[in-house]
Chains A and B, each alone.
Chain A
Amino acid sequence: MDSEKPLVRYGQLWSPEVMEDVHVKAELGRYRIRGFSTLKKFISFDELTFVPCTLSRIPLEGYREQCTTETVLGTRFAKKPIVLKTPITIAGMSFGALSRNAKVALGRAATRVGITTTTGDGGMLMAEREASEQLVYQVLPSRYGFNPHHMRMANALEIVIGQGAKPGTGGVLLGQKVSEEIGAMRELPAGVDQRSPVRHPDWTGPDDMVVKIEELREATDWEIPIYVKIGASRVADDVKLAVKAGVDVIVLDGTEGGTAASPDILMDHTGIPTLAAVVEAKAALQEIGMDGVVQLVVSGGIRGGVDAAKALALGADAVSIGTGALIALNCNRPIYIEDYHALGTEPYACHHCHTGRCPVGITTQDPELMKRLDVDEAADRVANFINSMTMEIQMLARACGKSNVHDLEPEDLRALTLDASFVTGVPVVGTNLVFGRPDLWPQAHSNGHRDEMNHHQANGKQGKKKGKRTHEERTR
């Protein structure tokens, strides 16, 4: 080792990754598109911990005493709400983004564990309808493959305003993924770079959405729930508008949400984290008296039962998993390693869904690659993962003395960092202190215990103020 060799110093601002980005764009002449989700670190559920029962309250026996996980979505208007056996759903992912085998595997897994899967941009694959007992049908801006008969075969509808990975922007599917079959389903020439619109073709704005929702209810005889899916952005305003427009369920996708192909700058720089989104959404529902009437499903970086339990505690009625389900299928598994290398990546670091060359046969239309995903084995894996999540949620709930996972509350949590406390209104560990504006969090609407905490909290001036302060006041 040459002791005279100078230290090589890489910058923080102009890091190797940033420089590579410029080099690539200098060749490409456009923004970069890739799959998976943001690679950035956002404030997450990791910054919260549970405070289970010890002496002050009595835990329930894990392994023995009941802990209900049943979840009902769509109680506001639908004659036939969705009943889930566990508060988890599988998020909308298109046939086109995913292979046929992947969609069928997800459907079978969902049926086995008693939850829903969701169609995606491109319409309903009949094989998925057969595999999945409860299927949510998306109504997207593009309307690719939209079929009113399929709509009537669905168990719920999901009007898609956007997704967490790219709120406010339409979809992009590069030509290599628009196969003959996909092209035919979407009524596009094969091989084109598909640019999907961001707005719905037949309505613009929540005031028009009132009429659109009535139309969809008329078309489905007012039987099934209508969800609306929104990328987490101006959450409080959006939640209130969606409620006013007449939805049954709000699906909120945080910035950590996955995608088959999106501009990477959108993944990293648009939308707010799921942790913040769930809190803001819950506060908005409570402000307008819709807590318990309109259900809230959150997605975006839900990695397992712990994230799910924390999301439930903060106010979600259920969580939705997309990336998590794909990883359970085999995404990023260290098999067919030479194919990862051929893509220029490694297992655990692959986010090349947009290439159509998925080494494990999930996000591809190539028949040879698709064969690598055995449908039955894959369905097993996903079902196992969801069952593990269910057990994790139950375990945490029982530890906190709950016989129903929906009784988890923000008061069962503590914040490990100031940031998390500020965002969620959960007190910091070792203290009674909540930082920020407690009147904006769901727990502010509950009883005196919080009042005491509020009184002592660091921001002094607010005192006992419980409030219905709105977004506008918050930002003034």
Chain B
Amino acid sequence: MCGIAGILFKQQEGPIGEILIQMLADLNRRGPDSTGLALYGNLPKGNLVVRIKVDEDARHESMNWEASLVETAQEYGKVRDSSRAGQYVRLVMDYDGAYEELTAALEASGEGVEVFSMGQHLEIVKQMGKARAVDATYGLSAIRGTHGISHTRMATESRVDISHSHPFWARPFPDIAVVHNGHITNYHKLRRRLEIKGHHFNTGNDSEVIAVYIADMMQQGATLDDAVRSTVTTLDGSFTYLVATSDSIGFARDQFALKPLMITETDEFVAMASEEMALRKAFPFELETREAQAREVRTWKLERAASAKALESAVAG
């Protein structure tokens, strides 16, 4: 069980890192095990950003992971920028091929290497520990962008480690990420079906199936909105989850309204969090808030022009 939080600035970039870290620092109360963010912004150069987790095993300390991964990536496209912080290597490159191919190549570089996110806009950073500590390691509160979703974890049935933390990238689809509060009780059944179809699961965490399921639906041609709407009937158990794509953010809530979500919206932004206290930490003024309803699905899209409106969906079911 956990805390989730999301933010989308409708017209222009904003301090997404700082806002999410402030919300997460409060939500760590509900989720002390790990903290994770999926941040969306615009790349100044290159068309792909990849966040890769490497193990901090003593054996690997001598390895120069950054150099090794850059070398592998260069075979697929020009690497514009690379950096290493904590357990992550960040690559910015030019790449127009299949994402799964690049992902597999990078992960083959060594044991414990996992691609946590890939996309034109999406960067996932997740780590054991509380928000402030994770922020200190990765400088997240300095990051500006268009939107982001985030998570603090209280592990229910799967391992407490970095890989099992949220957000989950709906690999291999660019820029789709999910964070989830609750527990999917038909996880194994759905997982087996998706594996038979050829999908790959990285962890034993039930939340991952939401990302894979949405990816599968979109692969078959569904819009994000349709895919999210269908989860309300396909997933069983308790769930309030946030999903984000390159230009949208959305949520779905289960039919029993079991896990909380408070939403606030202005002309400039929409923000949501498991508890209003977290929203208040990030936005220090009285807010118009409401709680999401049972079975509710809503998505918001970045507005490119003043005349564009937020995408709105009626309550599902």
Whether chain B is bound by chain A comes out as yes
In the assembled complex, which residues on chain B have CB atoms less than 8 Å from the CB atom of A471?
A: 157
Which of B26-34, B70-78, B166-174 interfaces with chain A?
B26-34
Contact indicator B259/A472 (Cβ below 8 Å): no
CA distance A262 to B204 in the complex (A): 34
Q: Point out the residues of chain B lying under 8 angstroms from A237, CB to CB.
A: 156-157
Q: Is B29 touching A210 in the complex (CB atoms < 8 A)?
A: yes
Interchain CB contact under 8 A, A241 and B1: yes
In the bound assembly, the distance between CA atoms of A234 and B155 in angstroms comes to 13
The reply on B3 being an interface residue by CB < 8 A is yes
The residue of chain A having its C-beta at the shortest distance from the C-beta of B181 within the complex is A207
Q: A224-251: which residues lie under 8 A (CB-CB) from chain B?
A: 234, 237, 240-241, 244
Expressed in whole angstroms, the minimum distance between the Cβ of A428 and any Cβ of chain B is 31
A-side contacts of B259, CB under 8 Å: 204-205, 207
Assess whether B154 is interfacial by the CB under 8 Å rule.
yes
Quick one: which of A205, A208, A476 has the most chain B CB within 10 A?
A205
The answer for the CA separation of A313 and B137 in the assembled complex, in Å, is 44
CB of A473 within 8 Å of the partner chain = yes
B219 within 8 A of A: no
Closest residue of chain A to B204 (Cβ to Cβ) is A472
Number of residues in B with C-beta < 8 Å to the partner? 23
Q: Is the CB of A207 within 8 A of B2?
A: yes
Q: Mark A452-476, 1 if CB is under 8 A from B, else 0.
A: 0000000000000000001111001
> Total interface residues on A, using CB and 8 Å?
17
Say which residue of A234, A244, A476 sits within 8 Å of B154 (CB atoms): A244
- With CB as the reference atom, state the residue of chain A lying closest to B152: A207
Q: Mark B234-267, 1 if CB is under 8 A from A, else 0.
A: 0000100000000000000000001110000000
Q: Which residue of A lies closest to B29 (CB)?
A: A210
Q: Could you say which residues of chain B place their CB within 8 Å of the CB of A472?
A: 157-159, 204
Partner of B157, one of A210, A211, A234, A476: A234
Contacts of B36 in A (CB 8 A): none
The 8 A CB mask of A28-47 against B (1 = contact, 0 = none) is 00000000000000000000
Whether A206 and B157, one on each chain, are in contact in the complex, defined by CB atoms closer than 8 angstroms, is no
A207, B30: Cβ atoms closer than 8 Å: yes
Which residues of the partner chain B approach A473 to less than 8 Å between Cβ atoms? 159
Q: Which residue of chain B lies nearest to A471 when distances are taken between CB atoms in the complex?
A: B157
The contact of A240 among B29, B30, B155, by CB within 8 Å, is B155
Rounded to whole Å, the gap between the CB of A359 and the closest CB of chain B is 43
Residues of A within 8 A of B154 (CB): 206-207, 241, 244
Distance to closest chain A CB from B106 (angstroms): 25
A211 to chain B, nearest CB (A): 8
Across the two chains, which residue of chain B brings its CB closest to A206? B1
Is B148 an interface position by the 8 A CB rule? no
Question: Chain A nearest CB: distance from B115 CB in Å?
Answer: 21
Q: Which residues of B contact A244 (CB under 8 A)?
A: 32-33, 154
CB distance from A125 to the nearest CB of B (A): 33
* Neighbouring A residues of B1 by C-beta, 8 Å: 205-208, 241
Residues of B within 8 A of A234 (CB): 157
Specify which chain A residues have a CB less than 8 angstroms from the CB of B182 in the assembled complex: 205
Distance between Cα atoms of A119 and B31 in the complex (Å): 32
In this complex, what residue of A is CB-closest to B32?
Answer: A244
Which chain B residues border A207 with CB–CB below 8 Å? Answer: 1-3, 30-31, 154, 181, 259, 274
Interface residues of A in 244-280 (CB under 8 A from B): 244
Q: Which of A204, A208, A210, A241 contacts B156 (CB 8 A)?
A: A241
B204: which A residues are within 8 A, CB to CB?
472, 476
Rounded to whole angstroms, the CA-CA distance of A241 and B32 in the bound complex is: 11
Interface-centre pick from B33, B238, B260, B274 (highest chain A CB count, 10 A): B260
Pick the most buried of A211, A237, A244, A473: most chain B CB atoms within 10 A of its CB.
Answer: A244
User: Closest approach, in angstroms, between the C-beta of A472 and any C-beta of chain B?
Assistant: 5
Q: Which of B157, B238, B258 has the most CB of A within 10 A?
A: B157
Which residue in B33, B158, B238 is a CB contact (below 8 Å) of A205?
B238
Q: Which of A210, A471, A472, A473 has the most CB of B within 10 A?
A: A472
Residues of A with C-beta under 8 A to B3: 207
Inter-chain contacts of B156 with A (CB < 8 A) = 206, 237, 241
Q: What's the Cα separation between A470 and B32 when bound, in Å?
A: 18
> Chain A nearest CB: distance from B192 CB in Å?
14
The reply to whether B238 and A204 form a contact with Cβ atoms under 8 Å apart is yes
- Docked Cα-Cα span, A210 to B31, in Å, equals 10
Cβ A204 vs Cβ B258 within 8 A? yes
Q: How far is the CB of B241 from chain A (nearest CB, A)?
A: 14
A302 to B208, CA, bound (A): 41
Looking across the interface, which residue of chain A has its beta carbon closest to that of B260?
A208
Closest to B275 in A: A211
A241 and B2 CA atoms in complex are apart in Å by 11
Residues of the A chain whose Cβ atoms lie less than 8 Å from the Cβ of B30: 207-208, 210
Which residues of the partner chain B approach A211 to less than 8 Å between Cβ atoms? 29
Note all chain A residues with C-beta closer than 8 A to B181: 207
CA distance A254 to B76 in the complex (A): 57
**Most chain B C-beta atoms within 10 Å of own C-beta, residue among A207, A240, A476:** A207
A476 to B159, CA, bound (A): 12
Taking CB atoms, residues of chain B closer than 8 Å to A241 are: 1, 154, 156
Closest Cβ–Cβ distance, residue B130 to chain A (whole Å): 13
Complex Cα distance, B29 from A211, in Å, reads 9
Proximity bits, B1-38, A CB within 8 Å = 1, else 0: 11100000000000000000000000001111100000
Measured CA separation A476–B30 after assembly (Å): 28
Q: Which residue of B lies closest to A236 (CB)?
A: B157
CA distance A208 to B1 in the complex (A): 8
CB distance from B240 to the nearest CB of A (A): 10
Tell me the minimal C-beta distance from B235 to chain A in angstroms. Answer: 16
Cα A208 to Cα B27 in complex, Å, equals 11
Shortest CB distance B123–A (Å): 26
Complex Cα distance A241/B1, Å? 9
**CB of B216, distance to nearest CB on chain A (Å):** 23
A240 to chain B, nearest CB (A): 7
* Chain A residues within an 8 Å CB radius of B160: 470
In the complex, are the beta carbons of A205 and B258 less than 8 A apart?
A: yes
A301 to chain B, nearest CB (A): 26
| Contact digits for B191-232, partner A, Cβ 8 Å, 1 yes 0 no | 000000000000010000000000000000000000000000
Q: Name the residue on A nearest B203 (C-beta).
A: A472
**Bitwise interface map of A from 196 to 225 toward B, beta carbon under 8 Å scored 1, else 0:** 000000001111101100000000000000
Using Cβ atoms and an 8 Å threshold, which residues of chain A touch B158? 472
Least Cβ–Cβ distance between A127 and chain B, in angstroms? 38
Q: List 17 A-B contacts (CB under 8 A).
A: A204-B238, A204-B258, A205-B238, A205-B258, A206-B1, A207-B31, A207-B259, A210-B30, A211-B29, A237-B157, A241-B154, A241-B156, A244-B32, A244-B154, A472-B157, A472-B158, A476-B204
By a beta-carbon cutoff of 8 Å, the part of chain A in contact with chain B is 204-208, 210-211, 234, 237, 240-241, 244, 470-473, 476
Given contacts A207-B1, A207-B3, A241-B154, 14 further A-B contacts (CB under 8 A): A204-B238, A204-B259, A206-B154, A207-B181, A207-B274, A208-B30, A208-B260, A211-B29, A240-B155, A244-B33, A244-B154, A470-B160, A472-B158, A476-B204
Q: List B residues at the A interface (Cβ < 8 Å).
A: 1-3, 29-33, 154-160, 181-182, 204, 238, 258-260, 274
